[in-house]
Amino acid sequence: MIYPEGDRTAPPSGRMPEGGYFFDTIVRQAEIDDDNLNPEDNLEEFGLVSDDDLDHFKRSCLEAEKSGRGIVATFGGMAFGDIAMVPAPDLKYPKGIRDITEWYISTMTRADYIHEVFEKQSEIALKNLVKIYDAVGNLPDAVFICGTDFGTQTSQFCSTDSYEDMYAPYYRKITTWIHENTMRKTFKHSCGAVEPFMPHFIDSGFDIINPVQCLADGMEPAHLKNTYGKSLTFWGEGVDTQKTPLIGTGSIIKSAEEFPLSYRQAMDALEKNGASYLTGIVFQYPRKLEKLFFSALSKSDRTESIGILNNFFELLSQPHIRFKECRMSLIEFMIQLRCFTEDQGDANGRSLSENLLRDVMLHEDRLSLLSWVAKPLMDYLISRRIDLACMLLADTRMPVKEIAVKSGYNDVNYFGKVFKKQMGYSPREFRFKS
């Protein structure tokens, strides 16, 4: 048994079955008196965030920012009808409607009561969002809104019309405030066969949907990505976690290649054209680390710059990273580094960027990474240079030699060879045809 706040004088709120690993909630529902139902009874667990919690959120966000990774925050208070919350396992003597079956029935038979609960809950949540924003600003990249499940394995808990009437208005209040006042993305969890809800999740202002239960009816990954991928990020492994740990490899899965073929296909479908993230498997480019790095460079703090760059490449060296997902971002980072430091050199003529890379790359496990990025980086640079040259040849009367220099080539003959290899014509032939 578990007891609310560890108080054994109160009725237990959870029971672990023999041989189990998780606690099942014990429903502690008094007889419902409809004539005296008070929405405040179902709001007992919701209140204004405390100063201690605000301090905790701020410390946690500042600490997480040092990692350079994205920050996903759960602030609480926005779970409208989340069935894990309805029985209130943390309250000693919960009042109101606390029986799970009774709650679901009440969304139809006591709809006015549920609306009143949600209305007051959303008012509290909006006040808390203001206080939390004052404490943490835009440090979180995404915020978890709600874990209310709308799907079973084969169907839905309610119709989309019921969703629009009962839940969507309150979700929109929350997501609208977040999008209008912060830079955060909004994260919605729902297990099960929720494909019919996807357009409604989008209209409700959600940016991220989790967990993508691919074996539930209608949740075929390629369909989800092709139909909704421009509006939603699908965050979740796309893996049947109900069966994989039991009948899978029998060992810890360390890379995507170790998953059964069907799951790798699900990942590939969800990763197509970017925008969907598979937690723990697909590399998420550390934009905040990049920002910290260039901030250190601007202050000429070499020690901090090297430390951050080391952290950056440590992320890339993790065994689960699949480099194809971050290649272009890394190439862009290298180009920014080159441009940022091109005027800063040492007595040997090496740029600051070259020296920084030498300091962090002279490790055997990173040499392959350096060779991996070198060719696409050069290809990208050549492409950018030739694009500029084509524009100048077509739109100006500038001499070819001057165009070569502006495009990054001091040797006009070498420029001519590179241009012809890329375009199939010499610079003069290209200008004539243009």
Please state, in angstroms and rounded to a whole number, the distance separating the CA atoms of residues 280 and 252: 13
Does residue 101 sit in the same domain as residue 199?
yes
- Residue-averaged pLDDT of the chain: 79
User: What is the chain's Cα-based Rg?
Assistant: 28
One domain for residues 357 and 415 = no
Kindly report whether the peptide bond that precedes residue 376 is cis, defined as omega within 30 degrees of 0: no
Distance between CA 8 and CA 107 in Å, rounded?
Answer: 33
Write out pLDDT tens, residues 282-341: 334 455 555 666 666 666 666 666 666 666 655 554 443 444 444 445 555 555 555 554
Q: Is the model more confident about 274 or about 74?
A: 74
Which tens digits make up the pLDDT trace of 212-260? 888 889 988 888 988 998 889 888 755 555 655 444 444 444 444 555 5
Parallel, antiparallel, or unpaired for β 185-189 and 208-210? parallel
Say if 56 falls within a structural domain. Answer: yes
Residue 387 predicted with pLDDT over 90: no
- Judgement on whether residues 152 and 300 belong to the same structural domain of the protein: no
Q: Give the global pTM.
A: 0.63
Please give the residue that has the higher pLDDT: either 352 or 307. 307
Lowest pLDDT segment from 118-132, 380-394, 418-432: 380-394
User: What pLDDT, on the 0 to 100 scale, is given for residue 249?
Assistant: 42
Model pLDDT, residue 327: 47
Residue labelled with tokens 């050199």: 345
CATH of the domain at 401: 1.10.10.60
Judge whether 49 and 75 are in contact, CB under 8 Å.
Answer: yes
Strands (E), 104-147: 142-146
Is residue 99 domain-shared with residue 200, that is, in the same domain?
A: yes
Q: Which of 330, 362, 394 is the last residue of a domain?
A: 362
Please tell me the total count of domains within the chain.
3
Q: Are residues 431 and 334 in the same domain?
A: no
Between the CA of residue 345 and those of 95, 267, 342, 352, what are the distances in Å? 70, 44, 7, 5
Q: Which of 303, 327, 362 is the last residue of a domain?
A: 362
In this predicted structure, the answer to whether residue 69 has a pLDDT above a threshold of 60 is yes
Task: Mark whether 72 and 179 lie in a shared domain.
Answer: yes
Note down the domain range covering 355: 287-362
Collapsing DSSP to helix, strand or coil, 50 comes out as coil
Is the CB of residue 189 less than 8 Å from the CB of residue 147? yes
Lowest mean pLDDT among 7-16, 130-139, 290-299: 290-299
